[in-house]
Amino acid sequence: MQADDAHSTQNAPSAIRHGSQPPGSTIGMVGGGQLGRMFAVAAAAMGYRVIIFTESADSPAAQIAHETVVGDLHDQAAIDRFAQQCDVITLEFENIPAATIARCREFAPTYPSASVLAITQNRLVEKSTLRDAGLPVTPFCDVDNTESLILAGHALGWPLIVKTARSGYDGKGQQRVESADGAGDVDWDAAAEWIAEKCISFDKEVSVIVARTPDGRCDSFPIFENSHHNHILDISIAPALLSETLSAQTREVAVQAAEALDVVGLLCVEFFVSDNEIMINEVAPRPHNSGHLTIEACETSQFEQHVRAVCNLPLGSTLQRTPFAAMANLLGDLWGSSDKAPDWAAALTDPGISLHLYGKSLAKPGRKMGHLTITGAERDDVAARVSGARSKLS
């Protein structure tokens, strides 16, 4: 490495390189979960070194990274020890402290930025930013007590989904309020900020993953159609069944969202589709569960595209290799109350099934432990086969 390389500088923003980071460079990943793990696999295949910054030495990503820095994500000394080794830095989850990312930025280009995290870590700010950019979002109101929630119900119509503005994932931190009579059931002391969103009667839920480079180039993957169980993604199918016109509009709005937020890396935009109209439900500036099927289904996976985007390389083709693909999540529930592993061989009797496990030692109900993917020529066939394979695990 040359003396002016980012990882060889000490707290010197002026020396940060903003050009492309070629294979052989070192990518830092903040966060050690399954998204970081699959990112590290893709980056290593392209010839990059990957350093993980995580709070657990045995995290899924740490098991396969070239190097791991273990420390509290708020610890400035640990942040510095990690960041000074990196040529470019990214993250796997948007709830990483924005101050941590801002500190990383003092050593190397860091994507997405702390300003992006400040927006996407707060549902109210996120929705307001997208609405102010002219993008279609689910109707919402700022609420902070029973009286303001009742007023929101009059303005938006009941029922409402009341959510904490910060934190919460896979349905956590939110509840459905059917009418003004239930407005007093919200535990307002549980969070400092709240948002109330109109409960949308939708036809389907879809998501689009957009890649965006530091110099503003964008591309999007096929649209994923998602079904959930207990607020957790259950099965994704690509491409979604939408008209050609609505598909084009959905991908266009997703790109506009990435540009409005000034995201570098990946942005997943989740939409409700209702009466041939789309509304943004939420966004995530990172790889997304619904995009896992791109590993087998697309010419470039979402994880390789993430590498290309943050390293300012040409983006890869997002075309699907086959007409349809499907993914099924594997949750800790499959292990039941025993320590006996699911019957992997039974699921793999279908030779088209691909198995991905995340290296998590403890299986808990609702915890994402892995996924199955399949590709094929018929939509109903791939959906049935991936569901059938999962059912054989128990």
Tell me what pLDDT residue 336 has. Answer: 80
Q: Where are the domains of the chain?
A: 6-110, 139-198, 204-391
Half-sphere exposure of 104 (CA within 13 A, CB side): 31
Average pLDDT over every residue of 229-240: 96
Tell me what pLDDT residue 168 has. Answer: 63
Tell me what pLDDT residue 167 has. Answer: 77
pLDDT at 8 > cutoff 80: no
| Contact of 53 with 73, CB cutoff 8 Å | yes
Q: Which overall architecture, per CATH, does domain 204-391 show?
A: 2-Layer Sandwich (3.30)
- State the residue for tokens 């190097």: 67
Q: How far apart are CA 110 and CA 90, in angstroms?
A: 6
Q: How far apart are CA 199 and CA 178, in angstroms?
A: 9
pLDDT at 268 > cutoff 70: yes
Per-residue confidence band for 14, with pLDDT thresholds at 50, 70 and 90:
very low
CA distances from 194 to 166, 186, 201, 231 (A): 8, 10, 22, 19
pLDDT digits (tens, 9 = 90+) for 35-87: 999 999 999 999 999 999 999 999 999 999 999 999 999 999 999 999 999 99
Q: How far apart are CA 73 and CA 53, in angstroms?
A: 8
pLDDT digits (tens, 9 = 90+) for 293-318: 999 999 999 999 999 999 999 999 99
Tell me what pLDDT residue 9 has. Answer: 31
Q: How far apart are CA 394 and CA 388, in angstroms?
A: 11
Q: What is the pLDDT of the chain when averaged over all its residues?
A: 93
pLDDT at 236 > cutoff 80: yes
| Contact of 73 with 100, CB cutoff 8 Å | yes
pLDDT digits (tens, 9 = 90+) for 354-379: 999 999 989 999 999 999 999 999 99
- The four Cα atoms 25, 31, 33, 35 give a dihedral, to 10 degrees, of -50
Per-residue confidence band for 169, with pLDDT thresholds at 50, 70 and 90:
low
Per-residue confidence band for 170, with pLDDT thresholds at 50, 70 and 90:
low
Please list the alpha-helical segments (H only) found in the chain.
34-45, 76-83, 98-104, 114-120, 123-132, 146-156, 244-261, 294-297, 302-310, 344-347, 379-391
Tell me what pLDDT residue 5 has. Answer: 35
CA–centroid distance for 25 within its chain: 24
Phi, psi of 218 (to 5 degrees): -130, 150
CATH code assigned to 6-110? 3.40.50.20
Tell me what pLDDT residue 18 has. Answer: 56
Is domain 139-198 given the CATH code 3.30.1490.20 in the classification?
yes
pLDDT at 13 > cutoff 50: no
